[in-house]
Amino acid sequence: MTAMTVNERPVDFDMDPDTPLLHALRDAANLTGTKYGCGEGDCGACMVLVDGEALRSCLVTIGEAEGRFITTIEGLSRDRSHPVQQALVAEQAIQCGFCTPGIAIAAASLLRGNPDPTEAQIRAAIPNLCRCGVYPRLIKAVQRASRVGRRRETISAAPPPGIDREDAARVVPGMRTESPAADAEGSD
């Protein structure tokens, strides 16, 4: 068993310790918001926060992640209220959306350590590839998220996804609000 904390919940993966964290999150924890792009560390689609640092989860094994605190896009906020999420939507910096979770994670990590980054710092901190080419809007979105985070601006909340949180949690175990143990007890 490899133990870690994922989205503030303790998780034990009964998998080979050499398994990439990306696959454990997607295939075992059903946290499919983290995307599999290249699998080789190039695209950034698989980025998650590991102890607050944005890392490519295809390059991190679960053995290396043992005991650490992982945050996936599902855990960044449960209601899309993180300033980065709000700003990406408001600036229409999303087209197909495949790269978006990794970008949101990289941007959140940047703003956490540097609340008012320059454009050069944004470009350097978010090397993620986007085949749809949202780069100009992405810069604007991160700058706007920075202003929101510093309370210089507010953004109306993004519309709800049209899926009840509890319904979503039934098919995404990593989003459940109750513990698995409680689930098991309740099903007896």
Q: Point out which residues bind ligand FES (CB under 6 A).
A: 36-39, 41-46, 56, 58, 94-99, 130-132, 134
Query: Within 13 Å and on the Cβ side, how many CA atoms surround 70?
Result: 31
Tell me how far, at minimum, the Cβ of 180 lies from ligand FES, in Å.
28
Tell me how far, at minimum, the Cβ of 134 lies from ligand FES, in Å.
5
Is residue 26 within 8 A of residue 37, CB to CB? The reply is: no
Instruction: Identify which of residues 4 and 54 has a Cβ nearer to ligand FES in the complex.
Output: 54
Tell me how far, at minimum, the Cβ of 65 lies from ligand FES, in Å.
14
Residues 6+ positions from 145 with CB-CB distance below 8 Å: 83, 84, 86, 87, 88, 107, 111
CA 188/CA 186 separation, integer angstroms: 6
Instruction: Identify which of residues 41 and 113 has a Cβ nearer to ligand FES in the complex.
Output: 41
Instruction: Identify which of residues 132 and 157 has a Cβ nearer to ligand FES in the complex.
Output: 132
Is residue 62 within 8 A of residue 17, CB to CB? The reply is: yes
Tell me how far, at minimum, the Cβ of 105 lies from ligand FES, in Å.
12
CA 30/CA 33 separation, integer angstroms: 9
Helices first, then strands: H and E counts in the chain:
9, 5
Tell me how far, at minimum, the Cβ of 129 lies from ligand FES, in Å.
7
What number of other Cβ atoms are within 10 A of residue 70's Cβ?
27
Instruction: Identify which of residues 39 and 63 has a Cβ nearer to ligand FES in the complex.
Output: 39
Instruction: Identify which of residues 115 and 127 has a Cβ nearer to ligand FES in the complex.
Output: 127
